[in-house]
C-alpha cells in the first residue's frame, strides 16, 4: 500500500489524496460502503461501483461466524466471495466488543464471544484477528481493540486504552501478506489527552496508516469533532487517516475538512432498507413510508446523477417500499451511497481546483 497527498486546502485540513493498493487506487477523501458479510446488502458490485465507491469494508467477526473463514478460503478469498475486484478493508471485530457487550468476556489474552447466531464460543486474540484478515485477503486490515462507551470513566478508558496498545503490539508482530497494510487503531474514549497518548504509542511502530475508533458511541457531535481534530493534529501528514463509523453527509464534510481521508458507516444503507433517503447534501431525510410521496413525479434529489434518480421517480420508489418490494432497498441504497460520495468528490475537486 502507498498513499500520496495530491493537494491540501490552505484554510483547513482538507486534502485530496490517492490510496494505492494491490487491487487498485482510490481517490480520497472517500466513503467505504459496509458489506458486513462481504456484500453490501441488496447491491451488486456493479451497483456499488456506480455509486462512486472505490473501496468496500467487511467485518472479521461476522465473517468468522458466517460463512466461516475456511469456506471463504475454499471459495478463493474475500474478493472472489464478494465479486468485488477493487480494494477491501476488514474491520477487526473490535466494535463488536462494544456493541455485543452482553455476549463477550474480555481478558488480556483477547475476547471470547458467545455467537449471536448459535451460542457457540468464538475466541478472538490479536494474533488470530490478524491471521483471519490475512487469510481473507483484504488490502487494509485492522488490529483488535477495545472500544468503550461515551459514558466510560477516565479509569475505564485508561484500562481499555492500555489493553488496546498491548494488543496492537501483538498484532503488529503477526505475519500478514506482502501487499497488506495493518493500520494502527487509536482509542482513548472522550479524553483528548488519551487519544494523543494513543497516537504517540502507535507512532513508535511507524504504521502505514491510522484508524480513529471509539467515536459516534453516544457523545454529542461537537465532542466527536473536537476529538477528531485533536487526534488528526497529532498524526503525520503523509499517512492515511480512517475515521470509523461516520456516515451523515454533514459529518463527512466536517471531518474531511479536519483532514480525514477514509470513512465508513452502516447508516446510508441501513437507512435505505428502513425507507429513509437523503434529498440533499445537508442530509434532509425523506420517509418513503409517507403516502404523500406517492404523488411525487420527480427524482429523490433534482441534482443527483445516481441511477435511481435518473430512472426512477420518487413516487415509484415510495410505492415499491410501501409494497415491501426488495427493489426499493436497492434503489434507496444506491441513492444514499451516491450522495455521500458526491459530497466527498465535490470537496476533493474544490481542493484540486484551489491548489
pLDDT at 94: 72
Q: How far is residue 5's CA from residue 132's CA, in Å, rounded to a whole number?
A: 31
For residues 183 and 173, the answer to whether their CB atoms sit within 8 Å is no
Enter the C-alpha cell of residue 316: 415509484
pLDDT at 293 over 80: yes
Q: What is the pLDDT of residues 294-305, one digit of tens each?
A: 999 999 999 999
pLDDT at 38: 87
The percent of residues above 90 in pLDDT, for the chain, comes to 88
Q: How far is residue 137's CA from residue 63's CA, in Å, rounded to a whole number?
A: 13
Instruction: Name the catalytic one among 9, 47, 91, 280.
Output: 91
Residue, of 224 and 94, whose pLDDT is higher: 224
User: Nearest Cα to 121, choosing from 111, 107, 131?
Assistant: 111
Instruction: Taking residues 216-234, report their average pLDDT.
Output: 97
Query: For all residues of the chain together, what is the average pLDDT?
Result: 95
Give, as one character, the DSSP assignment of residue 40.
P
User: Nearest Cα to 262, choosing from 56, 69, 59, 84?
Assistant: 56
pLDDT at 97 over 80: no
Q: Is residue 145 annotated as a catalytic residue, yes or no? A: no
Q: What is the pLDDT of residues 45-69, one digit of tens each?
A: 999 999 999 999 999 988 988 999 9
Instruction: Name the catalytic one among 47, 139, 261, 264.
Output: 264
Residue, of 117 and 26, whose pLDDT is higher: 26
pLDDT at 96 over 80: no
Instruction: Taking residues 74-100, report their average pLDDT.
Output: 89
Q: What is the pLDDT of residues 315-335, one digit of tens each?
A: 999 999 999 999 999 999 999
pTM: 0.95
pLDDT at 215: 95
pLDDT at 178: 97
Reported as a pLDDT band with limits 50, 70 and 90, residue 292 is: very high
DSSP bridge pairs for 263: 31, 243
pLDDT at 112: 87
Q: State how far the alpha carbon of 349 is from the alpha carbons of 28, 291, 334, in Å.
A: 10, 38, 22
Phi-psi region of 88 (alpha: psi -120 to 50; beta: other; left: phi over 0): beta
Please state the domain extents for the chain: 30-265, 267-355
Q: What is the pLDDT of residues 126-172, one digit of tens each?
A: 999 999 999 999 999 999 999 999 999 999 999 999 999 999 999 99
CA dihedral 253, 254, 258, 263 (to 10 degrees): -60
Buried residues in 55-66 as b, exposed as e (16+ CB within 10 A): bbbbbbbbbbbe
Q: What is the pLDDT of residues 236-277, one digit of tens each?
A: 999 999 999 999 999 999 999 999 999 999 999 999 999 999
Q: Is residue 91 annotated as a catalytic residue, yes or no? A: yes
Q: How far is residue 255's CA from residue 244's CA, in Å, rounded to a whole number?
A: 11
Instruction: Taking residues 209-219, report their average pLDDT.
Output: 96
Q: 115-129, 199-213, 316-330: which has the minimum mean pLDDT?
A: 115-129
Q: Does domain 30-265 have CATH number 3.20.20.105?
A: yes
Amino acid at each position: 500500500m502507498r498513499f500520496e497527498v495530491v493537494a491540501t486546502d490552505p484554510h483547513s485540513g482538507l486534502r485530496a489524496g490517492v490510496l494505492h493498493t494491490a487491487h487498485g487506487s482510490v481517490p480520497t477523501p472517500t466513503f467505504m460502503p459496509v458489506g458486513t458479510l462481504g456484500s453490501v446488502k441488496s447491491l451488486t458490485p456493479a451497483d456499488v461501483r456506480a455509486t462512486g465507491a472505490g473501496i468496500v469494508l467487511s467485518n472479521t467477526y461476522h465473517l468468522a461466524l458466517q460463512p466461516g473463514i475456511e469456506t471463504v478460503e475454499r471459495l478463493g478469498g474475500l474478493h472472489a466471495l464478494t465479486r468485488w475486484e477493487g480494494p477491501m478493508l476488514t474491520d477487526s471485530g473490535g466494535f463488536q466488543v462494544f456493541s455485543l457487550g452482553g455476549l463477550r468476556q474480555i481478558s488480556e489474552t483477547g475476547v471470547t464471544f458467545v455467537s449471536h447466531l448459535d451460542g457457540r464460543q468464538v475466541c478472538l486474540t490479536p494474533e488470530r484477528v490478524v491471521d483471519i484478515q490475512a487469510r481473507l485477503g483484504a488490502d487494509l486490515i485492522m488490529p483488535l481493540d477495545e472500544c468503550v462507551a461515551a459514558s466510560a470513566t477516565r479509569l475505564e478508558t485508561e484500562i481499555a486504552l492500555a489493553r488496546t496498545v498491548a494488543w496492537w503490539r501483538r498484532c503488529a508482530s503477526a505475519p500478514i501478506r506482502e501487499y497488506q497494510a495493518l493500520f494502527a487503531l487509536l482509542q482513548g474514549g472522550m479524553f483528548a489527552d488519551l487519544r494523543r497518548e494513543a497516537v504517540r504509542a502507535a507512532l513508535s511502530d511507524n504504521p502505514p496508516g491510522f484508524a480513529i475508533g471509539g467515536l459516534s458511541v453516544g457523545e454529542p457531535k461537537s465532542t466527536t469533532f473536537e476529538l477528531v481534530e485533536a487526534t488528526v493534529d497529532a498524526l503525520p501528514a503523509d499517512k492515511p487517516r480512517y475515521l470509523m463509523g461516520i456516515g451523515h453527509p454533514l459529518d463527512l464534510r466536517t471531518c474531511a475538512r479536519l483532514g480525514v481521508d477514509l470513512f465508513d458507516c452502516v447508516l446510508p444503507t441501513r437507512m435505505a432498507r428502513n425507507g429513509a433517503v437523503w434529498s440533499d447534501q445537508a442530509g434532509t431525510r425523506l420517509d418513503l413510508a409517507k403516502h404523500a410521496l406517492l404523488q411525487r413525479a420527480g427524482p429523490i434529489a433534482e441534482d443527483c446523477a445516481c441511477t435511481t434518480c435518473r430512472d426512477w421517480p420518487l413516487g415509484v420508489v415510495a410505492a415499491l417500499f410501501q409494497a415491501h418490494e426488495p427493489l426499493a432497498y436497492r434503489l434507496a441504497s444506491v441513492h444514499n451511497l451516491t450522495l455521500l460520495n458526491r459530497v466527498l468528490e465535490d470537496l476533493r475537486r474544490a481542493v484540486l481546483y484551489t491548489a
